[in-house]
Amino acid sequence: MRLKDKTILITAAGQGMGRAAAIACAAEGAQVYATDVNREALETLEAVEGIQTRYFDVTDAAATLALAEELPDLDCLFNCAGIVHHGTILDVSDADWDLSVSVNITSMLRISRAFIPGMLRRAEITGTASILNMSSMASSIKGFPFRTAYGATKAAVLGLTKAVAADFVSTGLRCNALCPGTVDTPSLQGRIASAPDPVQAEKDFIARQPMGRLATVDDMTPTIIHLLSDDSRFVTGQAILVDGGVTI
Ligand code: NAD
C-alpha cells in the first residue's frame, strides 16, 4: 500500500489516464478526490472504495478556490486535465490558443497555487508531498505536426513544474511532470475517428511508436503511482518520459 494515509486530488479523472490513476491510487490505499466535468463518468467511480468524486471544471477560478476550501489538506495533487488542439500555427485561432492555455497550463497554476499551502502543512507533518503535472512527449522535448497549441502549452507545463520544484525543494514538496507517448484513451479514439481516413490515422499513430503499439493507460499507472508516492522521494523537477522509445 504505497499511498496509505495519503489524500490525493486528481483532475480529469472521468476517463483515460486520470481515471486509471484514480482507481490505481485508491487500490494503493489513498483517499482519492476524483474530479471532472463529465458527471456520468464520475458516477461510475463512486462505487470504488477510497474514491470520492466532485464536479470540477479546471478553468473555473472560483471553483478552484472553493474546492481548496472544502477539501482536507492534500498529500498529492495530480494535475491531469488537458486538451488537444489539432492544427499548425496557421490553424490556431486566438480562441483556440486561449482555450489551450486555459485548460492546459493556467489551470495548473491556479490549482497548484490554491492547494500548495495545505500541501506544505502536510509536508511539515509527514516530511513529504507530491505534485504531478501532465505534460507530453509533444512539448519542449519533441515537436510533432499539428500540435502547435498543444506542444507549446505542454512545454509550459515543464517550465511550471521545474519552477515549483525549485521553489519548494527544501520543504519536502516535490513536483514532477509525466510525458507520455501516444496512449489509447477515449480522446485519442475521438481524434482517430474524426480524421478524414480513420484507419490510416490509427496506423499513423501506431507508426510513430517504435514498440509497434499504442500505450495503454495501465502502461502509465505504475509511473504515476511511483511519482506520487514516497518511492520517488529523491526525484523532483523532472520530466519523466513514458513514451515507448519515441524519443530515443
Ligand atoms: P481524455 O482526453 O480521454 O479525457 C480527458 C478528461 O478530461 C475527460 O474526462 C474530460 O471530461 C476532462 N476534461 C476536459 N476538460 C476539462 C475541464 N475543463 N475541467 C476538468 N476536466 C476536463 O484522457 P487522456 O487522453 O488520458 O488525457 C489526459 C491528459 O493526458 C491530458 O492532459 C492529455 O493532454 C495528456 N496526454 C494524453 C496523451 C494521449 O495520447 N492520450 C499523451 C500525452 C499526454
User: How far apart, in whole angstroms, are the C-alpha atoms of residue 155 and residue 148?
Assistant: 11
Which parts of 135-203 are beta strand (E)? 173-180
State if residue 103 touches ligand 1 by the CB under 6 angstroms criterion: yes
Length of the chain: 248
Backbone angles phi, psi at 174, to 5 degrees: -105, 160
State if residue 80 touches ligand 1 by the CB under 6 angstroms criterion: yes
Q: Are 34 and 52 in contact (CB under 8 A)?
A: yes
List the CATH code of the domain at 7-180+216-241: 3.40.50.720
Q: 126 alpha carbon to ligand 1 midpoint, in Å?
A: 31
Choosing from 33, 56, 150, 168, the catalytic residue is 150
User: Residues 112-137: pLDDT tens digits?
Assistant: 999 999 999 999 999 999 999 999 99
User: Residues 148-178: pLDDT tens digits?
Assistant: 999 999 999 999 999 999 999 999 999 999 9
Instruction: Tell which atom from ligand 1 comes closest to the C-alpha of 20.
Output: 26
What does the domain layout of the chain look like in residue ranges?
7-180+216-241, 183-214
State if residue 15 touches ligand 1 by the CB under 6 angstroms criterion: yes
150 is catalytic: yes
Q: Are strands 31-36 and 239-242 parallel, antiparallel or unpaired?
A: unpaired
Supply the ipTM of this predicted assembly: 0.99
Give 30's DSSP letter.
Answer: -
- Each of the 248 residues of the chain gets a pLDDT tens digit; together they read 999 999 999 999 999 999 999 999 999 999 999 999 999 999 999 999 999 999 999 999 999 999 999 999 999 999 999 999 999 999 999 999 999 999 999 999 999 999 999 999 999 999 999 999 999 999 999 999 999 999 999 999 999 999 999 999 999 999 999 999 999 999 999 999 999 999 999 999 999 899 999 999 999 999 999 999 999 999 999 999 999 999 99
Nearest to 137 by CA among 24, 11, 22, 239: 239
